[in-house]
Amino acid sequence: MSKDLTFNQNEDALKLATSNVRQLLYKIRKGGGSKNIEKQHAQGKLTARERVSLLLDPDSVAFEIGEFAGYEMYQEYGGCPAGGVIVVLGYVCQRLCVIVANDATVKAGAWFPIAAKKNLRAQEISIENRLPIIYLVDSAGVFLPLQDEIFPDKEDFGRIFRNNSQMSAMGIPQIAAIMGSCVAGGAYLPILSDEILIVEKTGSVFLAGPALVQAAIGEKVDSETLGGADMHCDLSGVTDYKMPNDTVCIATIRKLVDKIGSRETAGFDRIEPKVPEIDPSQIYGYYPEKGAKPYDMFDLLRCIVDADSLTEYKATYGKSLICTYARIDGWAVGIVANQRKVVKNAKGEMQFGGVIFGDAADKAARFMMNCNQKKIPLVFLQDVTGFMVGSKSEQSGIIKDGAKMVNVMSNCVVPKFTVIVGNSYGAGNYAMCGKAYDPRLIVAWPSAKMAVMGGAQAAKTLLQIQVASKKGRGEQVTPEEEATLLSTITARYEAQTTPYYAAARLWVDAIIDPAHTRQVISLGITAANHAPITKEFRLGVLQT
């Protein structure tokens, strides 16, 4: 098979997977559907996505977080597209901001568990990068059938208000606009913000609505009298700006953001960008269909980084990991990437692509220390099946080398960004800065797979357990039954490894078009540059 034919087949496969992402997002962006959108308009209200679009600078770069949140979840309740809340990292009056907008077309904007998790992720991005955050509130409150999954725990609904309070103490600007219902505990979110706008006739905020007030104390009162714009702006003083409609409200938010003063930056190095050596639109052809064959990670890097900017660290040592300095859209970065082609070590031994060997882990640890020393952000490109196993690896101290890499990565003070290109299995996910290690942004390609181990190995392991269990109960398992059981286990396990499954649960922030990898990383570093590094780089005890 010629290289050109292989390239074209790879390109077709990854483009098809990317097209599938776009088709699903088209449906997700309709929120609760056309009827609910029409209902919103009939009330004189813009939809959440219309509000966000009006708030953002025209033709500016924006990145939506968690569009797949809730995907194929909560089906018994009719689903929850995008988790019922829109989160965008984008520019408002040329200032990078985090925007959170409740989607009232989805169950009246009620808070599902994933909605709370998504809101917390938005606040986390704001806190880590010291970015202003804007809340466009339009929510009926907690989704009561799932209240036990959203109310009492540490990372549940109440954490949002704790964050509000701490963010205010940090000096992070918070602006809230009450553009619909704002009920019960949810009322604290806008009121704990720095400045509060409310839209006349459609916006309302109270701890208990009219029905609950009548049930509790016997008082009959309408929503406007209880918590409308006139009452709160004229009498209670709870809100600061009374707005006649959504459009004027959004315009006023922009005026408020426009006057925010500039802050000290982290000082990450940036020069005039150069276009990549290989056009990013060609990136699809360099990734093998289904990730089934070895490939050279440098081909992908040349589609992402600025031309002539690669300076590889320890190029002839620990070849199963690439450690290289580069620039992405002008920003200086340190890149740690899994090399997927088969390589030879200094002893002439073959090393499988996508596996982290001890020498590579040792190299990566040293490289990350250098990046922290020189204040250079780190970018991880994951296509990893895990650390090398076997008696030879164990005797050479693979656990010690892997622990060193994890220790250094965990203690990095420079911002980290993770792109899951293909496999992300087991401890390899951890060492390459998985979600648990606080990357500022973590995104996946449509080709990504995340699991504790590969599907084939996991399915066979689970099959052995189930067959042994049946035999332990005295049941006989025929070869045909065993084959059927393996097929069922494999299908279930594979469904849990897809990027959609991960994105639905916010294990990744987004599934991105591979050709957009460069822009996403650049925007992430731009955001990170708003937050000076104040923490000293220190390590725990390293096993040497």
Lowest pLDDT segment from 138-142, 239-243, 302-306: 138-142
Q: Which of the listed CATH numbers 3.40.640.10, 3.90.226.10, 3.30.1180.20, 3.40.50.720 matches domain 33-258?
A: 3.90.226.10
Average pLDDT over every residue of 466-478? 81
CATH superfamily of 1-30+266-452+498-544: 2-enoyl-CoA Hydratase; Chain A, domain 1 (3.90.226.10)
Dihedral, CA of residue 153, residue 155, residue 158 and residue 164, to nearest 10? 160
Cα 449 to Cα 222: distance, rounded to the nearest angstrom? 52
Contact present, 55 and 99 (Cβ < 8 Å):
yes
Contact present, 197 and 244 (Cβ < 8 Å):
no
pLDDT at residue 477, as a whole number? 78
Q: Which residues of 138-163 are buried (b: 16+ CB within 10 A; e: fewer)?
A: bbbbbbeebeebbbeeeebbbbbbeb
Average pLDDT over every residue of 408-421? 98
Q: Tokens 């994933």 map to which residue?
A: 114
Q: Tokens 């714009």 map to which residue?
A: 229
pLDDT at residue 210, as a whole number? 87
pLDDT at residue 461, as a whole number? 80
pLDDT at residue 3, as a whole number? 65
Q: How many CB atoms lie within 10 A of CB 254?
A: 16
297-304 and 517-528 helices, crossing angle to 10°: 60
Instruction: Select from 164, 139, 177, 173 the least CA-distant residue to 253.
Output: 177
Average pLDDT over every residue of 203-230? 89
Q: Report residue 223 as tokens.
A: 């929503």
Contact present, 436 and 503 (Cβ < 8 Å):
no
Average pLDDT over every residue of 310-335? 97
pTM of the model: 0.94
**In which region does residue 241 sit, left (phi positive, over 0), alpha (psi from -120 to 50) or beta (all else)?**
beta
Sequence-distant (6+) residues with CB within 8 A of 169 are none
Contact present, 421 and 383 (Cβ < 8 Å):
yes
- Per-residue pLDDT band at 362 (split at 50, 70, 90): very high
> Helical H runs in 433-508?
455-472, 479-495, 499-504
Contact present, 506 and 464 (Cβ < 8 Å):
no
pLDDT in tens, 475-507: 887 888 778 888 888 888 888 999 999 999 999
Q: Report residue 43 as tokens.
A: 């009330």
Lowest pLDDT segment from 62-71, 473-482, 504-513: 473-482
Given a cut of 90, whether residue 326 has pLDDT beyond it is: yes
Given a cut of 80, whether residue 454 has pLDDT beyond it is: no
Q: Which residues are registered as beta bridge partners of 203? A: none
pLDDT at residue 1, as a whole number? 40
CA distances from 434 to 87, 351, 451, 510, 518 (A): 21, 23, 11, 14, 19
Say how far residue 474 (Cα) sits from the centre of its chain: 47
Q: What radius of gyration do the chain's Cα atoms show?
A: 25
Contact present, 327 and 274 (Cβ < 8 Å):
yes
Q: Which residues are registered as beta bridge partners of 92? A: 95
Q: How many CB atoms lie within 10 A of CB 311?
A: 11
Cα 463 to Cα 461: distance, rounded to the nearest angstrom? 5
pLDDT in tens, 71-123: 999 999 999 999 999 999 999 999 999 999 999 999 999 999 999 999 999 99
Given a cut of 90, whether residue 377 has pLDDT beyond it is: yes
Cα 257 to Cα 133: distance, rounded to the nearest angstrom? 10
Instruction: Select from 493, 321, 308, 316 the least CA-distant residue to 401.
Output: 321
Matching fold, domains 1-30+266-452+498-544 and 33-258:
yes
Average pLDDT over every residue of 133-148? 92
Cα 287 to Cα 303: distance, rounded to the nearest angstrom? 11
Q: Tokens 């992720």 map to which residue?
A: 121
DSSP strand pairing (321-328 vs 386-387): unpaired
For the chain, the domains span 1-30+266-452+498-544, 33-258, 455-496
Instruction: Select from 102, 189, 85 the least CA-distant residue to 137.
Output: 102
pLDDT at residue 487, as a whole number? 83
Average pLDDT over every residue of 246-254? 98
- Per-residue pLDDT band at 261 (split at 50, 70, 90): very high
Cα 514 to Cα 445: distance, rounded to the nearest angstrom? 6
Given a cut of 70, whether residue 30 has pLDDT beyond it is: yes
Q: What is the mean pLDDT of the chain?
A: 93
Sequence-distant (6+) residues with CB within 8 A of 499 are 420, 444, 445, 446, 447, 448, 449, 450, 508, 511
| Residue type at position 16 | L
Given a cut of 90, whether residue 408 has pLDDT beyond it is: yes
Cα 486 to Cα 450: distance, rounded to the nearest angstrom? 20
Q: Report residue 232 as tokens.
A: 């709160």
Q: How many CB atoms lie within 10 A of CB 34?
A: 10
When mean pLDDT is compared over 177-181, 290-294, 344-348, 352-356, the highest value belongs to 177-181
Q: How many CB atoms lie within 10 A of CB 428?
A: 22
